Amino acid sequence: MPLPTHPVLQDPKIQAILAQEYGRMSDAEFARRKRVLGEVLAKHGCDAVLLCGEQRVGSGVHWVTGWATTTEAIVLFQPGRQELMFVEHYNHLPNARRMAIGVEVRWAERKGPARAIEELKKRGAKRVGFIGLLSWSKMRALTEAVNLVDLNGEYAWLRIRKSDEEIEWMRIGAALSDLGLEALARGAQPGMTERELGALVEAAYQPLGGATTIHFIGINDMARPTQCVPPQFHSSRKLKRGDMMFVEFTAAFWDASGQVLRSFTVDADPTPLFRDLYATAESAFAAMTGALRAGVHVQEIVDASAVIEAAGFSTYDDILHGFGGGYWAPVLGSKSRPSGPLPDMKLEANMTVVVQPNVITTDEKAGVQLGEMVRITPGGFERMHHAPRGFLRIGT
């Protein structure tokens, strides 16, 4: 099928990536990842590292092998040695072997981490790093067998800082997220349920290999508002004239994703309340992005968001977070709704962050969404999305 007319998707390099049998980073990128992972092991005096995932959770497995975790996968990585990946279920082995190029894939035999532990003992590995998630019983088996070192914090830093190739892939995720938003804006009609609206979104990017990470869709009656933030699950509620709709979409190409947040009115002008909420969101977005640059301390970003409180409003969602392969630091809240302790952290070039001032009323009955993922540069930021801005409108 012809590619949609999104500027990113017209790039021949991007088209070549999309045309692969399975989306896979270059050999040079995988070599870079293994090199920096080896540096982390050396720093912590580890003989090896296990990267683990269960029930499609655990991005480290995919990051180092190219295989996206299904039911369970445990990767044994040791610099200079053959990488091993133990996979459940047995019928997943053929696909895993096709996608995890250069990795020896074995069946885990429904023994949890036992096969990996056997291999660690054969290799004489005693101090072993751990990245990812496993159930308590499996973690107990590992901790009884080896001196386990939690490297999840180090892994987060490896993912926060993007390589140039990873940035290129993130543009694909952003483009697919834009396509979902465009399909919603074009196809949404009064009378459609949140479920039907979600189907519009997914259909826009799935033919290109995109997958849904999230598509939150909220509907609020502007005359009698009841909610300030989109729900995580679609309901049978129907869109009607005089409503507003606020959305948060993340489509991904493998683990390269975008994130775009927008607000719509439905066949009506914004009421004074929603007009003011949205105007404040635009002011906050401008102030916050105006503070973005490599080297800026995150406190300056929070300070910039104070226009929200100055207008008499607050927030419910985080106002900024790291993104791409996970939900990473810094996770920032506004002054009136902090997101936990403020990290002592400065932004770095090639970080990707989502700026998203979700401005709400203090009674938590009304709110708007506005935001998107951007790339941090030495002198500021770069937009990754092409979705239109503004308080958008559905209908005539």
Q: Rounded distance, CA 210 to CA 100, Å?
A: 19
Q: Rounded distance, CA 265 to CA 342, Å?
A: 35
| pLDDT confidence of residue 56 | 78
Cα distances (angstroms) measured from residue 340 to each of 331, 332, 334: 8, 8, 10
Within 8 A by CB and 6+ apart from 223, the residues are: 242, 271
| pLDDT confidence of residue 5 | 74
User: Domains of the chain: which residue ranges?
Assistant: 27-160, 164-394
Q: Rounded distance, CA 82 to CA 205, Å?
A: 36
Helix, strand, or coil here: 235? coil
CATH number belonging to domain 27-160? 3.40.350.10
| pLDDT confidence of residue 3 | 59
Q: What is the DSSP code (8-state) at residue 391?
A: S
Instruction: Give the residue among 246, 263, 391, 367 at the shortest CA–CA distance from 315.
Output: 367
**What pTM does this model have?**
0.95
The partner residues of 354 in beta bridges, in order of sequence, read 321, 373
Q: Rounded distance, CA 295 to CA 215, Å?
A: 32
CB 236 within 8 A of CB 195: yes
Q: Rounded distance, CA 371 to CA 261, Å?
A: 5
pLDDT tens across 271-304, in order? 999 999 999 999 999 999 999 999 999 999 999 9
| pLDDT confidence of residue 267 | 95
Q: What is the DSSP code (8-state) at residue 22?
A: S
CB atoms within 10 A of CB 171: 23
Domain 164-394 in the same topology as domain 27-160: no
Regions of the chain with pLDDT less than 70: 1-4, 396
Q: Rounded distance, CA 49 to CA 150, Å?
A: 10
| pLDDT confidence of residue 4 | 67
Total length of the chain: 396
Place of tokens 């997220």: 177
| pLDDT confidence of residue 217 | 97
Q: Rounded distance, CA 31 to CA 29, Å?
A: 5
- 164-394 folds as Creatine Amidinohydrolase (3.90.230)
